[in-house]
Structure formats: C-alpha cells, structure tokens
Amino acid sequence: MSSYKALFKELVKELEIIAGNSMKVRRKDAVSNQGKIIQYLENSSGAKLSAEKLKTIQAEVEKQSIQPRADPELLKRLVKEEAVANERDVRHLSNVVAFLSSQRVYCDLLERYNPGISMKQEDKVRKTARRVGLDVPE
C-alpha cells in the first residue's frame, strides 16, 4: 500500500499536468483574442494603438495565463495526518489519482486518433470545403 504522502504527491503531479495542458489552450485562445481586440480597436479608431494601450492588453493576457500551484501547507498537514489516515482514505486517494491519470491519457489518445474533435466549427467547415476544392468566404 502506498503512503498517503506519496499518493498526495502523485495527485499534485497529475493536477499540475492537467492544469498545464489547460493553460496551453487558454494561452493560445488569449493570444488569439488579443490579436482580435487589437485589430478591432485599430479598425474602429482608424489609427495605431499607443504603446501603453498595447501593454495593457498584453498584461491582461499574461494575467489570464498564470498557472495555479499546489499549496505546500496542505502537504505538511497531510504528512502530519498520515498516521491518522485509515485505509479507506488511502484507497480513495489512490482511486482519485488513478482516475485523473487515466482521464488525462484518455483525452490525449482521443485527440491523437481524432484530431478534428477539438477543432472549432469554423475550421471544420473550412477544411471540409477545401477537401472538395472550394474556399469559404471570409
């Protein structure tokens, strides 16, 4: 049987991997949105944006892409409580870790073997049109 501390470390590792993957997607969307916002503001005003305004928009994107971290105080408390943890709690934590790991692998495999599953509807339409020799109007 694994120790409570080892299971917790595995849990934190899985959660950090999952958070990292979701942050990649969020960063990509945020950068895309940043470009759209800049383009919209420039088109609506008819002039280039000031450096200060660009920095403000970029700071907002950076703020959105901060990855959460595990709380080390929680680990210290769990180490103290390890002696009190019963076998049921340890099994439960082990099941949670196994579930998160399996879910992450499942999502990776799903994306690998079905690359269009995470594609946006616009991209699906554009690729389908290209497949038959057409272009989608902008």
Give the closest residue to 88 by CA, choosing from 76, 77, 80, 96: 96
Record the pTM.
Answer: 0.59
pLDDT digits (tens, 9 = 90+) for 113-130: 987 787 888 888 888 888
- Distance, CA of 14 to CA of 106 (rounded, Å): 13
Are 34 and 57 in contact by the 8 Å Cβ rule? The answer is yes
Dihedral class, residue 133 (left if φ above 0, else alpha if ψ from -120 to 50, else beta): left
Give the closest residue to 6 by CA, choosing from 71, 56, 75: 75
Are 63 and 26 in contact by the 8 Å Cβ rule? The answer is no
- Distance, CA of 92 to CA of 46 (rounded, Å): 59
pLDDT digits (tens, 9 = 90+) for 30-55: 777 777 777 777 777 777 767 777 77
Confidence band of 109 (pLDDT split at 50, 70, 90): very high
- Distance, CA of 40 to CA of 29 (rounded, Å): 16
Domain residue limits, the chain: 4-121
Q: Exposed (0-12), middle (13-18) or buried (19+): which is 72, by Cβ within 10 Å?
A: exposed
Tell me the two tokens of residue 71: 């709380």
pLDDT digits (tens, 9 = 90+) for 63-85: 766 666 666 676 667 666 665 66
